[in-house]
Amino acid sequence: MPARNHKQWSAKPDLELGEWVDSRIYSDEEIFEEELDKLWKKSWIALCHESELPEPYDFRTGIIAREPVIMVRGPDNKVRAFLNVCPHRGMTIERRPSGSFAPAQPSGNPKHMTCLFHAWQFDMKGNCVDIPRQKEGYQDRLDKSSQGLRALRCEVKYGGFVWVCLDDHTEFNVETWAAGAMDCIKDSLDAEPLELIHYHKAIIDCNYKLWHDTNSEFYHDYMHYHNRITGFNDDYFQRECSAYDNGHVNVGTFTVNYEEYDVAEDRGTLSFPNLPPDNWYMVDMFPGLNFNLRGSVVRMDLMTPLSANQVMIEFRGFGLKSDSPEDRAHRIQHHNSIWGPLGRNLHEDLIGVAGQGTTMTPKSEPRRILHGRHEGAYIHDEIGMRHFYESWGKKMDRLPSDPEQKYKAGKVMGPEMPPAKGLSTFAGKGA
Ligand code: FES
Ligand SMILES: [Fe+2]
């Protein structure tokens, strides 16, 4: 078929409803605002890891749906989360990304969170414990006990991740929210304490869902030299993609041949507990978290949507807390050879989504984005995206293929297809 004129270009694809989405779901500012309320404020988000606040009085800050959050470890060792907002006049209480409240603050006492503006102080349970010149200004009209911080639901779960939910009334705890999607990696994550070994962040001019999508589809592995040369074998093409309630998806494992990559080494001896050597699972948690257990290291991506066309992605890497210095150095090398700045994977994905972001800016002409590959739920099937957008449509009450229409059950996932016959015979390893 020749190149298309505008009418042909704008026509609906020859696929079934549900096998594509309208690009406005990635670029429309009104839809973006609605997503913050209907998705991000209702979901459990793993904002950090307990190893980032290891001691009593340590804290870590983060953001969910524009709301600033602070997570603190109390003297009882319990991690709690609060809005990082002073009840007095709305100042951010703590502006550092992490630190400790054990020492005295510039205008407050040790072991207290102190707002820099007028020095109201709070303990690690969020109680307001001091209001300067309280009697003089408020007489008996304002009681400290009514001026505590806004407490948020918080759970430490699945290998020590600190999960926070802005919705007090959510029907879910973290486990029921995950709906089984984390089960494939939970025994590896929970076997012994983990520790943060890598952190960096990227701010990319694209919609956050494009990062979700690239994590959930593997058809783009042709872009990744490392993945092709270490992984394109029959077992790879048999990795299964499985869908779970609430929009989550995971991807089954296979054995990666790391030694095929020039500067890589076998990861078998350092593979995580309860994981066969050099195996690799992925879990995509709705709406913007990804867990990637690749042999000896875990990567966790946390997306923070900044606007319809901008996302901050924080990349964390984890090893075992019990690592010897030598093992730790190997894990960091394993992490960086794929996911570091000079690695052969992560920045390639970033180039992919940044390219999509340039074609889907607010008010750019709507176009259709195809999610219609069916390969028996094996690795190059796009069930991960179709399942995500089924949940998205239901929670947003919009049809992803035409977001001006209301959601209709059965119109998002596309038709059920018979399993693909045979496996891909791609033989271009290293091509
Ligand atoms: S705004 Fe925090 S003490 Fe005034
Ligand atoms: Fe990728």
What CATH number is given to the structural domain containing 135? 2.102.10.10
**C-alpha 84 – ligand 1 centre gap (Å):** 12
Kindly report, residue by residue over 20-59, the tens digit of the pLDDT. Answer: 999 999 999 999 999 999 999 999 999 999 999 999 999 9
- In this structure, the answer to whether residues 152 and 232 fall within a common structural domain is no
pLDDT > 70 in the chain, percent? 94
In a domain, 341, yes or no: yes
**Ligand 1 site, CB within 6 A:** 86, 88-89, 91, 115, 117-118, 120
**C-alpha 208 – ligand 2 centre gap (Å):** 15
E strand segments, 223-296 = 241-243, 249-251, 280-285, 289-294
Identify whether 56 is preceded by a cis peptide bond (ω within 30 of 0): no
- In this structure, the answer to whether residues 62 and 75 fall within a common structural domain is yes
Kindly report, residue by residue over 78-105, the tens digit of the pLDDT. Answer: 999 999 999 999 999 999 999 999 999 8
From residue 87, give the alpha-carbon distance in Å to each of 62, 132, 367, 391, 401: 18, 14, 45, 35, 43
- In this structure, the answer to whether residues 116 and 145 fall within a common structural domain is yes
- pTM of the entire predicted model: 0.94
Nearest ligand 1 atom to alpha carbon 89: 1
In a domain, 168, yes or no: no
In a domain, 58, yes or no: yes
- In this structure, the answer to whether residues 349 and 382 fall within a common structural domain is yes
- In this structure, the answer to whether residues 114 and 210 fall within a common structural domain is no
DSSP-derived 3-state class of residue 33: helix
Nearest ligand 1 atom to alpha carbon 91: 1
Kindly report, residue by residue over 197-242, the tens digit of the pLDDT. Answer: 999 999 999 999 999 999 999 999 999 998 998 988 889 999 999 9
Instruction: Give the chain's mean pLDDT.
Output: 92
- In this structure, the answer to whether residues 29 and 61 fall within a common structural domain is no
- 76 pLDDT tier (thresholds 50, 70, 90): very high
The whole-angstrom distance between residue 361's C-alpha and the CA centroid of its chain comes to: 22
Using CB atoms within 10 Å of the CB of residue 427, give its burial: 0 to 12 exposed, 13 to 18 middle, 19+ buried: exposed
- In this structure, the answer to whether residues 134 and 219 fall within a common structural domain is no
What residue numbers bound the domain in which 274 lies? 11-41+180-396
Pocket test for ligand 1, best of 70, 82, 88 (most atoms within 8 A of CB): 88
From residue 44, give the alpha-carbon distance in Å to each of 152, 159, 239, 405: 11, 15, 27, 27
- Residue 421 is predicted with a pLDDT of 36
Kindly report, residue by residue over 384-427, the tens digit of the pLDDT. Answer: 999 999 999 999 999 999 999 999 876 566 555 444 333 333 33
- Residue 258 is predicted with a pLDDT of 87
Q: Per-residue pLDDT averaged across 258-281, rounded?
A: 87
Check which CATH number belongs to the domain holding 274 and give it: 3.90.380.10
Dig out the tokens for 422 from the structure.
Answer: 């045979």
In a domain, 352, yes or no: yes
